[in-house]
Amino acid sequence: PEVKVKIAMVVGVRPGASAHEMELEVTDPLEKAIRTVGEVDNTQSWSYNDLCIIQVELKSTTPDDRLEQCWDMLRHKVSDAEASLPGGTSVTVQDDFSLVYGMFYALTAEGFSERQLADYAGLIQRELTDLDGVARVELYGKREESIDISLRADRMATLGISPTEVLATLNGQNGTFYAGYYDNGDQRVRVTVTDKSRTVEQIRNMVIQGHEDDQLRLGDIATVESGYTEPVRNSMTYNGEHAVGIAVAAASGTDIVKVGNAVERRLAELQEERFPAGVACHKVFYQPERVTGALSTFFINLVESV
């Protein structure tokens, strides 16, 4: 039977903020907005450097069939409050704790890079998410890519450029800005200016303004390389080989056995049609088999008792 969980978590992130700043400028405004939701019973919050977590608990008398409505209202209130938070703050609401991930696979790719492994895992995630009866597909052990910039102190000292100036340039040249509308009488088109850097080469060629009106490239004063975030937040191995975990949750009210069969068929199709040699999806945990086994045991016991 499905168990409805009446708890949600609101997570706010603001890079560079102290725990005290998070408490005053992010946590408190969010909590005040959350408490305006009528069905909220209590809240608890924790503020850290760069991060705050707010646990929201609904009243025990809240009917199960009203939970989705309550969570929608919570997201609406949080979204309204987010608009008034300091720039650079992002907020997410997690309310799906009742989801049960009944299928778990490990994807390995012998002879392929981590990026290629992640790409194949993303393909599986998209394909399985489109199946009827699948509520969510999550990936675990996928390393986050990063672009690492190492400033060269000797070059910066020679040119008289400070790290603060470099950071300001990076922030200023890596965004999308509203530039108004273009109206030709019949149509009105929204115009935005995008100045986002997406590749190592684009960032390496970013222009830094010198003190004597000379222009330099970031690559002149820094080493720019692609890599992965450190330290590693989560990692997974399967039989000693680096892997990406794929967890599949069935939607509420669906037949887990039928959903499992559909997932297995799609994985078999991908293995045959899309994956090269060396890429394999291994079954780690598969709830449909346990359900089928439990039903078989039940019917055998029923027949024997009759």
Q: Give the pLDDT of residue 305.
A: 56
Give the model confidence (pLDDT) of 8-63 as tens digits. Answer: 999 999 888 889 999 999 999 999 999 999 999 999 999 998 899 999 999 989 98
The answer to whether the beta carbons of residues 121 and 210 sit under 8 Å apart is no
Domains and CATH numbers, the chain: 7-94 (3.30.70.1430), 101-144+233-292 (3.30.70.1320), 145-228 (3.30.2090.10)
> Where are the strands (E) in the chain, listed by range?
7-13, 40-48, 51-58, 90-94, 101-109, 134-140, 145-151, 176-183, 188-194, 207-209, 215-217, 222-228, 237-238, 241-250, 279-286
Of 105-119, 192-206, 284-298, which has the strongest mean pLDDT? 105-119
Average pLDDT, stretch 78-94? 90
Model pTM above 0.75: no
Q: Give the pLDDT of residue 24.
A: 94
Closest by CA to 288, choosing from 261, 267, 270, 306, is 261
Q: Give the pLDDT of residue 300.
A: 55
